[in-house]
Each structure stands twice: as structure tokens, then as C-alpha cells.
Amino acid sequence: MWNNPGIRFGLLGGFSVVALYTLVYTVDKDSYHHTGLYYGSLVVYAWFMFMASRSDISVNGSARDFRELVRIPFITFLITNLCFWLFDYGLHLYDSSLTAMELQAALAKLKADLEGGVGDPQQANAIRDQIAGIEKSLANPANQPLGPVVTQMFIGALGGFALSAGIVTFVRNRL
């Protein structure tokens, strides 16, 4: 298992991302959902994907099909991302106020959009429906369902594949 750089660097990357988010959660819970942190953590993903790709190419060479080359950094991304989402889901189960904070932020954004004027009455009605749904969720808090988390993981995998392809292209041309 540790001989596969995708698994090895994926677990190391997962540990690093979880450690980063644990630190942020402990220091300032309000910053946990900051967009800059979310996208900034991709630097950690990219670093471990780069290391996995470099390790794979140094052992097996770069004169292989691109699909074979992109496999290792993509596995690294998937494992790191799985670690993050399992941690995030568990933390939301542990601290339900995180879900309430997310809902309040979404509610504030939707209300600001509605007050700013959307121009289209149909779109304004859709925003009002979303606001009503969020207010209902805030009034009757429940545990975060697993479905949206899995959906976000799959959507993230698309971006992870693109990142893997970019990293392989960079590493292939450098080594």
C-alpha cells in the first residue's frame, strides 16, 4: 500500500488538510467556512499531487500514456478529498452550529441579492422560495444529510482531474 505514491501522498495530504482545518476550527470557528481557506487548501492538495506525480515519474518514467500518468495524482486528490469530506461531515455532526452558520451566510447572500434587484420576476420568486427553505431549516435544525456531501465530493473530483492533468503536464515537461 505504501509503495503506491497515490495512496501514500493521498493519506499524507489528507492528514495535512485535516490538520489545517482542525487548526482553523480551534483558533477561529467563524473562519472555518471562509472561501479563501477552502480554495487556499488546494495548495496542499496540489503539493501532494505534485509529489506523487514526481515520485511516479521518477520510478516509472514519463514515456507512458497520459492516462497512466494522470492516474497517480488523481488518486492522491481523491484520497485527500475523501479525508477532508469525512472530517468535515463528522465535524458538522459534532458541532451543528457550523451548519447554522452556513445557512445564515447563504440566507444573508440571498436576501442581499433579492434587495439588490434581480430584474426577472421568476428568478426573484425562486430566490424567495430558497429563502423560505433556509428559514425553515434554521427553525427546525437537523443533522447534515450525507447526500449533498457526496455530491460535493463528486463535483470536486472533476476539478481534481483537471488539476491532476495540469500537474502531470508540468511535471512531465520538467523531469
pLDDT in tens, 14-39: 999 999 999 999 999 888 888 899 89
Residues 72 and 28 in one domain: yes
Residues 18 and 81 in one domain: yes
Residues 123 and 70 in one domain: no
Q: CA 5, CA 12: separation in Å to the nearest integer?
A: 10
Residues 133 and 162 in one domain: no
Residues 72 and 101 in one domain: no
Range of the domain at 116: 97-142
Q: CA 168, CA 69: separation in Å to the nearest integer?
A: 7
CA atoms within 13 A on the CB side of 114: 16
Q: CA 53, CA 5: separation in Å to the nearest integer?
A: 8
Looking at residues 78-84, what average pLDDT do you find?
Answer: 96
Residues 75 and 151 in one domain: yes
Residues 33 and 114 in one domain: no
Looking at residues 88-114, what average pLDDT do you find?
Answer: 85
Residues 163 and 104 in one domain: no
Task: Using a pLDDT cut of 70, give the percent of the chain over it.
Answer: 99
Looking at residues 125-140, what average pLDDT do you find?
Answer: 81
Position 175 pLDDT exceeds 70: no
pLDDT at 42: 93
Position 48 pLDDT exceeds 80: yes
List the Cα angle 171/173/175 in 5-degree steps.
65
Which tens digit of pLDDT belongs to each residue from 62-71? Answer: 888 999 999 9
Q: CA 25, CA 20: separation in Å to the nearest integer?
A: 9
Residues 44 and 118 in one domain: no
